[in-house]
Each structure stands twice: as structure tokens, then as C-alpha cells.
Amino acid sequence: MSWVHEAKIKAAEKVVEHIKDDMVIGIGSGTTAAEGIRIIGEKIRNGELRGIRAVPTSYQAIQEAVKAQIPLTTLDEFPVLDFGFDGADQIDQELNAIKGGGGALLREKIVASCCKEYVLVADQTKVTDVLGRDQPVYLEVHPMAVAPVSRKLRNMGAKPDIRQAVGKLGPVVTDNGNNLIDADFGPIHNPGYLNARLHSVQGVMETGLFIGYCKIAYVGTQNGVKTLTRF
């Protein structure tokens, strides 16, 4: 097992410590979140956690939760969640993040916005001093708007790339029936301003810029877990 995989597991273990009996939680997507889902399932089966219900952020999260035997629910039943956790593609020192490498950013942000407490979990390779350094911003875009949105992104100084499917011809289609554009802006010194500009572009359904959602992040390192906080 690589140190990165071990770091993800250790960080996920810290996240799960926040979860108490009878909580309704949001569960994220991706490999790091999957480790947390697996650990929650083990605790439920061992009797260490009871009454847990989870709102998944993607079909992948649904599959991981079913495999872990975690009861699922929806935001229709529980529009306010006690707790939520997810991975990140990049995190800065203020705990702003870029998410959406797995294509679930819209649902991930909806769930994040419903959580009383929201925690990010990652390994050390995902931490940066400035968002956007060697990392595109992921955008979920309505299919009919892909071309005009790409044009507007280029006018904003970005290099847009329409994400293509692997093992299937054509662009990636999200769980919501939209397409994905990976937009390289380079280093982003004001992510809140960029996020607002992107939301003003018609056809952009959601951005992968997660600004201000998280106050705690657990970062797995080669030597343990580092806790990052924002007050």
C-alpha cells in the first residue's frame, strides 16, 4: 500500500470521529470519501454507530454506501444534514477548494450547502498555497451551452477543455445529464470573485470552486494526519 493510500485512510478515520448516533450525513464521492464510507459501514456493523442515514452525492457514492450497508435517504426527507464530508482535488490554506474531478460537483455542492458541519478530507498532495496551480476549475455545463460557454471562458483568459468519456465515445455526461468543462485559469488569487464571474455565465450550472463551506480539513501525510482549520 502506498503512503498516499495510507494517508487517505488515516484522514478518513479522523472524519468519521465526528459522526454520532442518529445523525443524517452527506457522503461525498471519490476515492478518499469512499474510505470514509467504508469505515462508517464497519462501525455500523460492529454496533459502534446506530441510526445513521446518508445522502449520497453521486451514483458512485450510492454504490459505495450500498456496499458498506449504510441506509440511504434524500434531501426531500432531510433538507438539513447534521454532518457531511467529501474529498477535494485541491485545497488552499483558507480551506477553499476545487472539487469535481469525478464529475459530481453540482450534487456535491448542493449537499455541502445543506450541512450544519462540513469537513474535507484529502492527502498532502492536494494542498496548495494558491488554487488553480496545475489544476483546472471544473464546470458543469448545460449541453446546449457548451460552445458559447467555452468561448466566454477563453475571453476570460481560461483554456477550456470539454471532458471526453473513457470507454464511451463523446463527452462525459454527468448524473444530471450535463457536460463538463475543465477550465485552466492558472493560479487563482481571488477564487470568490472568479466563482461569481463564472456563475454569471449562462449555461454554467455549477462550478467546482467550493468557497467558505469548510471550517475543518483533515490532511493525511506520510507522518500522520494534519488538521487545517478556518475560523
Q: Please give the positions annotated as active site.
A: 108
How many Cα neighbours within 13 Å face the side chain of 1? Answer: 9
Query: What backbone torsions phi and psi does residue 190 show, to the nearest 5 degrees?
Result: -140, 80
CB 57 within 8 A of CB 111: yes
HSE value, Cβ hemisphere, 13 Å, CA-based, for 195:
18
What does DSSP say about strands 118-123 and 216-221: parallel, antiparallel, or unpaired? parallel
Tell me the three cell numbers of residue 195. 466563482
Grid cell listed for 85: 464530508
| Residues 51, 44: Cα–Cα separation, whole Å | 9
DSSP annotation of 41 reads H
Contact assessment for residue 130 and residue 97, using Cβ atoms and an 8 Å cutoff: no
Please, are residues 134 and 24 in contact by the beta-carbon 8 Å criterion? no
